[in-house]
Structure 1
Amino acid sequence: MSNTANTIGDVKKSENIHTLPPDHRFVEPQKAVKSITDMTIWEKSEAYMEYTGFVATLNESIKGKPLTVDCKVSDNVKKIINMLDKIDRIIDEFPPVEQPQRFGNAAFREWFENVKTNSTQLLQEALQPELHLAIPEIKVYLQESFGNATRIDYGTGHEMAFVMFLCCLYKIGFLQLEDNVATVLIIFNKYLNIARRLQKTYRMEPAGSHGVWSLDDYQFIPFIWGSSQLIDQPKIYPPAKFLDDEIVDKYANEYMFLSCIKYIKEVKKGPFAEHSNQLWSISAVGSWMKINQGLIKMYKKEVLAKFPVIQHVLFGSLLPIRRFPIID
């Protein structure tokens, strides 16, 4: 992909930017995986290595930590939370409309358009002025995080867009190493709650849930990071305890994995083993460490290696499709 046609601007030297050279050129992200044969390019790309490394780094940082843990919350983390609060409140302005079909309420399209229109301003309010040149590149990931306005659906690709958005905030130096715990337990958890609210409010369809690439209808990452939270936590051990309604209700506000199970039980009826067979199978694994490692492998195989998901991924200067450099 050529970077010349869609160049947005140069980076100015700033104390806030630690990872980018002064002559860095932001570009408007574009799709690059156009066919199944392009999947090998993706799996050897800088974007793939950056993304999987980012997921693994944050996974390690929250090991054994509940959502209620006392962690550092920087001013920049607070700014992103404030931005997400504004996005959350916009839902109130677009209540569901009466319509004949059961799924995909058309009011979502109005909500989505409002967020898209205001995304530049929302990011300008959150980011320091010297980082505003990055906004045309990173806002695209934010916009893609909440679902598809045409199909009114949501899935692991939209969740991935938000994690890429977070990764970009680190790459431009807005978020730092010290923010790792808060990024997962506060920012991502807030995003997860917004995604669930959108799903329920507008009765969003699961994006590709009837394929084989997802643990549940909508999410995957909170099961990875959520299982890391549960490593060496005696309250929910052995892991089979996550099937117990009493345990789920008691600890859903402390552990993302259990909040996911609670949400599934709210939106799905019938035996858990039938509607969530893969999760039910996981309950037989003997340790949360093994579950966590297994979920990371599964995510790479069932999400990151699936063309129907990756064909929608956008690549720019921060998460480029170019080959990851191999250093001898």
Structure 2
Amino acid sequence: MTTDLNNVEQPIASTSYIPPTKYILSKAHLAAFQRSKSHQDIIDFVDDLNDHVVGKKLTEAGEGSERTKPILGILESVLEIAKSTPPVDNKLSRFGNPAFKTFYDKVGEASSKLHSRINGLPAEAIPELEVYFKESWGNKQRVDYGSGMEFNFLCWLLCLTKLGVFTKDDYEFLVLGVFWRYIDVMRYLQSTYWLEPAGSHGVWGLDDYHFLPFLWGAGQLKDHKHLRPKAIHDQEILEAFTKDYMYLSCISFINSIKTASLRWHSPMLDDISAVKTWSKVNEGMKKMYKAEVLGKLPVMQHALFGSILPFPTPDQDPELKKTLEEEANDLPQPDEHGHIHVKGETGWTMDCCGIPVPSAFAAAQDGATPHGGTPTYTARSGIKPIPFD
């Protein structure tokens, strides 16, 4: 049973809106978040959206409602900002292009006006929503992108839902129309500005940048009568169904910029393909998102909380209060990049900043004309497959 987000009590006074900020500085804070109502609301939102796309195709998304059309318009405006901010000549570097910082600032400058287009959105709430929106496109300082930024876009949609901008009638289109268009725009940004994967391991072998298209993509296929997870290895099936299903589209995209087999560059996806049913894949993705995104300090230390998605205070969470009192002088402090580093952890989870990794797009065009003209997600002009290294 999931929470009906349309019945969530909404902030009504202008003074109740709070620009989101970071709260998670330690494992104790992370544990408090996992016990919180905000955590449950996020889980419920992901599950509700998933339930609404089971058996639905991308090509059947339609045009959306009067509530969602302004959101598509905002995404188009972000894309236009990117197109008007071309990458600078940076051929000596295979890492993030500095022009992304200019793009990021332009989005920030346009943000308030863009939000004013949203039907039924209280003007007083815009400063709170803007923070999630601006952080959805990547990190300005590091010129990278990962599941944490994708999470901010999810929070932006959730906050709009909590404020009554959307109803459950919009949930199918929020995934198949709005979110998928966001992925299109992000692929453009990733290929244009060569955004580095946030952290040095991508999203655990799924994709260098994204997680949710695989979760909801498996949801789309959950009850499919014929397609099975192993179909990702059949090129003819991919060509026939990529336009309909997010999961298969993501596989095709990965294949288009990397050579060798999924076993080498995306071992997790290869392992998942051996699962018998999409239903099991879908449930596994939900558990993985909860554990590996919402449950990992290197990701969630960057999570933002305000009044719409609040973080529990020590008075509201006695266990947090007790732990903080015991560890008052032991809390880790953010470094110059705003990152915290956890002592004693092993594996990639120590590596919140990551070892700088050039994007696949940069590697694909190494030695070619910088940026290959105007790369796009759909046409992928100038993008060539690369060997795994």
Give me the TM-score of the superposition, normalised by structure 2. 0.76
Equivalent residues in 2 for 1:1-328 (5 A)? 19-20=9-10, 22-23=12-13, 25-69=16-60, 73-99=64-90, 100-128=92-120, 131-210=122-201, 213=204, 215-235=206-226, 237-322=227-312
Q: How many residues align?
A: 309
Task: Give the helix-richer structure, 1 or 2.
Answer: 1
In the alignment, the residues of structure 1 paired with residue 61 and residue 247 of structure 2 have an alpha-carbon distance, to the nearest angstrom, of 19
- C-alpha displacement of 1:297: 0.6
Letter of the 1:116 partner, please give it.
G
Native 8 Å contact 2:70 2:118 kept in 1: yes
Cα distance per residue 1:248-301 (max 9 Å; x no partner): 122111111011111111222222111000000000000000000011111111
Question: Which stretch of the first structure deviates more once superposed, 314-323 or 207-216?
Answer: 207-216
Native 8 Å contact 1:72 1:179 kept in 2: no
Instruction: Decide whether aligned partners of structure 1 residues 241 and 315 sit closer, same or farther in structure 2, where only a CA change above 3 A counts.
Output: same
Native 8 Å contact 1:123 1:135 kept in 2: yes
In the alignment, the residues of structure 2 paired with residue 22 and residue 211 of structure 1 have an alpha-carbon distance, to the nearest angstrom, of 40
In the alignment, the residues of structure 1 paired with residue 257 and residue 300 of structure 2 have an alpha-carbon distance, to the nearest angstrom, of 27
Larger Rg: 2
- C-alpha displacement of 1:238: 2.1
Instruction: Decide whether aligned partners of structure 1 residues 211 and 73 sit closer, same or farther in structure 2, where only a CA change above 3 A counts.
Output: closer
Question: Which stretch of the first structure deviates more once superposed, 282-291 or 19-28?
Answer: 19-28
Instruction: Decide whether aligned partners of structure 1 residues 214 and 279 sit closer, same or farther in structure 2, where only a CA change above 3 A counts.
Output: closer
Letter of the 2:152 partner, please give it.
A
In the alignment, the residues of structure 1 paired with residue 32 and residue 8 of structure 2 have an alpha-carbon distance, to the nearest angstrom, of 28
Cα distance per residue 1:107-150 (max 9 Å; x no partner): 1111111001111111012344x611110001111101010011
Instruction: Decide whether aligned partners of structure 1 residues 141 and 251 sit closer, same or farther in structure 2, where only a CA change above 3 A counts.
Output: same
RMSD of aligned alpha carbons? 2.1
- C-alpha displacement of 1:23: 4.2
In the alignment, the residues of structure 2 paired with residue 127 and residue 145 of structure 1 have an alpha-carbon distance, to the nearest angstrom, of 21
Cα distance per residue 1:69-118 (max 9 Å; x no partner): 25572111001001111111111111111112112011111111100111
Q: Kindly, what percent of the aligned residue pairs are identical?
A: 41
- C-alpha displacement of 1:18: 7.5
Native 8 Å contact 1:26 1:318 kept in 2: yes
Native 8 Å contact 2:11 2:308 kept in 1: no
Native 8 Å contact 2:96 2:144 kept in 1: yes
Letter of the 2:195 partner, please give it.
M
Matched with 2:359 is: none
Native 8 Å contact 1:67 1:253 kept in 2: yes
Look up the SS of the partner of 1:322 in the other structure: coil
Question: Which stretch of the first structure deviates more once superposed, 262-271 or 117-126?
Answer: 262-271
Look up the SS of the partner of 1:253 in the other structure: coil
Gapped regions of structure 2 (runs ≥ 5): 1-5, 318-389
In the alignment, the residues of structure 1 paired with residue 293 and residue 152 of structure 2 have an alpha-carbon distance, to the nearest angstrom, of 13
- C-alpha displacement of 1:322: 1.5
Gapped regions of structure 1 (runs ≥ 5): 1-15
- C-alpha displacement of 1:305: 1.0
Instruction: Decide whether aligned partners of structure 1 residues 209 and 256 sit closer, same or farther in structure 2, where only a CA change above 3 A counts.
Output: farther
Question: Which stretch of the first structure deviates more once superposed, 258-267 or 80-89?
Answer: 258-267
Native 8 Å contact 1:19 1:173 kept in 2: no
